[in-house]
């Protein structure tokens, strides 16, 4: 019996590479039928952080538990409450349990990126190290067309190193119909597979079309999170 099992196992191993090769030959037709679970799995492979600041909508339980002042109850609350569509939402939740000094320390490492073109000026004060003067300058140069503009304008007030630090907490939405691959991949949670789907349905006529098409691959909550990062 054991010999028979070994023979069968060898045959499986011999045929496995061929089966994989045949699957790859199916091309775009096979790609289109990948289900939501596969898309989500690839997205989760990306880090929950960008440049050292963790995005609470992408981070895993173990990563969140390493952060200051987050116990298991708070981490569970974050996991159940996400996606947080704004930093204001996350702050409202955490403020119920943590004091101001604790929040300041935590937000150095945990933050929901802020849309430079739509975030209220007072909300920019949640960015670590940003006071009322700099928050005003963030709003002063709207609308931002790209992060390069943010670097240039805010670089008038702080040095290059500080601009790079601040850049971890904000974003400029990308144009769905013209964005490069590199720009699309800056969206937290978007990897090569979802990049393909973003481009597959160009040109987009409306955000509703984006929701409908990308909703074929990810959950409604994930579509809501992703659409914060895009515009037409």
Domains of the chain from N-terminus onward = 49-112 (1.10.150), 114-172 (1.10.150.320), 174-231 (1.10.150)
132-140 helix and 147-154 helix, angle to the nearest 10 degrees: 130
Sign of the alpha-carbon torsion through 170, 117, 189, 194: negative
* Residue 144 and residue 150 in contact, taking contact as beta carbons nearer than 8 Å: yes
How many CA atoms within 13 Å lie on the side-chain side of 8? 5
Peptide bond into 181 cis (omega under 30): no
Rg (CA), the chain: 22
Of 34-38, 126-130, 151-155, 176-180, the poorest mean pLDDT is in: 34-38
Residue 153 has pLDDT above 90, yes or no: yes
Residues 187-211: b if buried by 16+ CB within 10 A, e if exposed: bbbbbeebbbbbeebeebeeeeebe
**Predicted local confidence at residue 38, as pLDDT:** 52
Which residue intervals of 82-190 are DSSP H helices? Answer: 87-94, 100-107, 132-140, 147-154, 160-166, 181-184
3-class DSSP state for residue 7?
A: helix
The CA distance from 55 to 57, in Å, is 5
3-class DSSP state for residue 91?
A: helix
Percentage of the chain beyond pLDDT 70 is 78
**Predicted local confidence at residue 5, as pLDDT:** 44
The predicted-structure confidence for 86-100, as pLDDT tens digits, reads as follows 999 999 999 999 999
Residue 32 has pLDDT above 80, yes or no: no
Of 31-40, 77-86, 116-125, the poorest mean pLDDT is in: 31-40
Binning pLDDT at 50, 70 and 90, where does residue 52 land? confident
The CA distance from 7 to 2, in Å, is 9
């Amino acid at each position: 019996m054991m010999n028979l099992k070994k023979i069968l196992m060898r045959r499986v191993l011999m045929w496995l590479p061929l089966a994989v090769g045949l699957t790859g030959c199916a091309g775009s037709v096979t790609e289109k039928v990948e289900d939501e679970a596969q898309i989500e799995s690839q997205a989760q492979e990306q880090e929950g952080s960008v440049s050292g600041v963790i995005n609470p909508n992408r981070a895993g339980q173990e990563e969140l538990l390493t952060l200051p002042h987050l116990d298991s109850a708070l981490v569970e609350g974050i996991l159940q409450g996400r996606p947080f569509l704004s930093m204001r939402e996350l702050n409202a939740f955490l403020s119920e349990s943590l004091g101001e000094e604790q929040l300041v320390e935590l937000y150095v490492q945990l933050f929901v990126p802020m849309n430079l073109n739509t975030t209220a000026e007072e909300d920019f004060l949640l960015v670590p190290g940003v006071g009322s003067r700099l928050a005003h300058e963030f709003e002063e140069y709207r609308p931002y067309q790209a992060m390069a503009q943010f670097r240039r304008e805010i670089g008038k007030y702080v040095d290059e190193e500080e601009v790079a630090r601040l850049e971890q907490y904000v974003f400029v939405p990308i144009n769905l119909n013209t964005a490069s691959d590199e720009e699309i991949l800056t969206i937290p949670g978007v990897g090569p597979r979802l990049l393909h789907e973003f481009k597959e349905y160009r040109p987009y006529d409306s955000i509703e079309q984006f929701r409908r098409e990308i909703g074929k691959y990810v959950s409604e909550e994930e579509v809501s999170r992703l659409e914060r990062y895009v515009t037409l």
